[in-house]
Chain A
Amino acid sequence: GEDVEQSLFLSVREGDSSVINCTYTDSSSTYLYWYKQEPGAGLQLLTYIFSNMDMKQDQRLTVLLNKKDKHLSLRIADTQTGDSAIYFCAGYSGGYQKVTFGTGTKLQVIP
Chain B
Amino acid sequence: GAVVSQHPSWVICKSGTSVKIECRSLDFQATTMFWYRQFPKQSLMLMATSNEGSKATYEQGVEKDKFLINHASLTLSTLTVTSAHPEDSSFYICSARDGTGGEETQYFGPGTRLLVL
- Report A's interface with B, CB cutoff 8 A: 30-31, 33, 35, 37, 39, 41-45, 48, 86, 88, 90, 92, 94, 97-99, 101, 103-104
* Chain A residues with CB below 8 A from B108, complex form: 101
* Chain A residues with CB below 8 A from B93, complex form: 99
B49 CB-CB contact with A under 8 Å = yes
Interface string of B29-49 (1 = CB under 8 A from A): 000001010101101101001
B106 CB-CB contact with A under 8 Å = yes
* Chain B residues with CB below 8 A from A90, complex form: 44
Given contacts A42-B49, A43-B46, A98-B91, 12 further A-B contacts (CB under 8 A): A33-B43, A37-B106, A41-B49, A42-B36, A43-B36, A45-B44, A86-B104, A90-B44, A92-B41, A99-B43, A101-B108, A104-B106
Say whether, besides A39-B104, A98-B91, A44 and B46 are in contact (CB < 8 Å): yes
Docked pose: A33 CA to B43 CA in angstroms: 7
Compute the total of residue contacts between A and B using a CB distance below 8 Å: 48
Chain B: interface residue total (CB-CB under 8 A): 19
24 CB < 8 A contacts A-B: A30-B41, A31-B41, A33-B43, A33-B44, A35-B44, A41-B49, A43-B34, A43-B44, A43-B95, A44-B46, A86-B106, A90-B44, A92-B38, A92-B41, A97-B40, A97-B91, A98-B91, A98-B111, A99-B38, A99-B91, A99-B93, A101-B108, A104-B105, A104-B106
B7 CB-CB contact with A under 8 Å = no
Q: Closest Cβ of chain A: how far from B50's Cβ, in Å?
A: 10
* Chain B residues with CB below 8 A from A104, complex form: 105-106
Choose among B34, B41, B91, B108 the residue with the greatest number of A CB atoms under 10 Å from its CB.
B108
